[in-house]
Amino acid sequence: MGRYTYLAVLAGCLLAAVWLEPLFRVRVLRRWRRLTLTVLPVAAVFILWDLAAIAAGHWTFDPDQTLGVSFGPLPLEEALFFLVVPICALLGFEGVRASLRRRAATTPETTGDPTPDGAAGARANRQAGPSGEPACSTAGGPE
Amino acid sequence: MSYTAAAVLGVALAAALDLWVLRTRLLARREFWLTYPIIVFFQLLSNGVLTGRSVVRYDPAAILGLRVLYAPAEDLLFGFALVLTTLSLWCWHARRSGDQAAA
């Protein structure tokens, strides 16, 4: 793969996670403003760490396995890493949350419904959504 | 400062941000601990390629020398700090905006 090695790894990470957006409807990429406000500050801080580590000689990059485009000592791929990894982490996090919500919504009520129409009660509960949803919740938002 | 010391400090700062500064308390939440193993699996895979093929090389003097799938153990701490900071800020924005920014 030569000089595309690092870039290929980043592409692999994105491919492994991006399908969650349409299939799990995690709405990470759709909420692009919040995504930008999250990813850019984090990337800035960690790129500073990276630059300090390169300056201190903690790590170096193989020029034969990167494109050769760089910002000072920072290869383009290493900068992209700090965009790709946070986006993948957010897709995974919202994917887990979506599947937890789905499970909560389909699990039958186990608390024994005293009303004769138990199904209707369960349906009402389902519409109300799982209680105690933490502050990060976005499940009930409009599609 | 060695990479080892920087990585431990990074995790401590990320935890402080989550627990006390932004108060998103992801470290106390199930969603986070269900997500993290998935992320760490892919991290070991991708980082294993980067370090196994020597795309990134580390100064032996800056690390402990303990390696997990070719990558120095310090990378796991670095990744943890990166992921926790990202998710914490994401949740903080959600709480602040009441998710108005869903556009």
pLDDT in tens, A90-130: 999 999 999 998 888 887 655 544 444 444 444 444 443 44
Q: Is residue B48 part of a domain?
A: yes
Nearest to B94 among A16, A59, A138 (CB): A138
Residue A136: per-residue pLDDT: 66
The torsion angles phi and psi of B42, rounded to 5 degrees, stand at: -70, -30
Q: Is residue B102 part of a domain?
A: no
User: Which of the residues A33, A82, A96 would you substitute to probe the B interface, choosing the one with the greatest number of B C-beta atoms within 10 Å?
Assistant: A96
Q: Is residue B81 part of a domain?
A: yes
**Statement: the pTM of the whole predicted model exceeds 0.90:** no
Q: Which residue of A has its CA nearest to B58?
A: A59
Chain A CB contacts of B32 below 8 Å: 93
Nearest to A65 among B10, B30, B55 (CB): B55
Q: Which residue of A has its CA nearest to B61?
A: A58
User: Which of the residues A3, A5, A34, A62 would you substitute to probe the B interface, choosing the one with the greatest number of B C-beta atoms within 10 Å?
Assistant: A34
Interior angle at CA A56, CA A50 and CA A57, nearest 5: 90
Between residues B70 and B12, the one the model is more confident about: B12
- Which residues 6+ apart lie within 8 Å of B79 measured at CB? A85, B39, B40, B43, B47
* Interchain proximity A9–B49, CB inside 8 Å: yes
Q: Which residue of A has its CA nearest to B91?
A: A136
Residue B98: per-residue pLDDT: 74
What are the residue boundaries of the structural domains of chain A, listed by start? 2-107
Residue A2: per-residue pLDDT: 87
Report the pLDDT averaged over residues A25-51: 96
Give chain B's domain count: 1
Which letter, b or e, does each residue of A83-120 get, where b requires 16 or more Cβ atoms within 10 Å of its Cβ? bbbbbbbbbbbbbbbbebbeeeeeeeeeeeeeeeeeee
Helix (H, G, I), strand (E, B) or coil at B56: strand
* Interchain proximity B62–A90, CB inside 8 Å: no
How would you write chain A as a 3-class SS string? Answer: CHHHHHHHHHHHHHHHHHCHHHHCCCCCCCCHHHHHHHHHHHHHHHHHHHHHHHHCCCEEECHHHCCCCEECCEEHHHHHHHHHHHHHHHHHHHHHHHHHHHHHHHCCCCCCCCCCCHHHHHHHHHHHCCCCCCCCCCCCCCC
Residue A141: per-residue pLDDT: 41
Report the pLDDT averaged over residues A51-58: 94
- Which residues 6+ apart lie within 8 Å of A102 measured at CB? none
B54 reaches A (C-beta below 8 A): yes
**Domain range spanning residue B88?**
3-97
pLDDT in tens, A79-92: 999 999 999 999 99
Q: Is residue B84 part of a domain?
A: yes
* Interchain proximity A93–B32, CB inside 8 Å: yes
pLDDT in tens, B59-68: 999 999 899 9
Residue A110: per-residue pLDDT: 56
**pLDDT above 50 (res B87):** yes
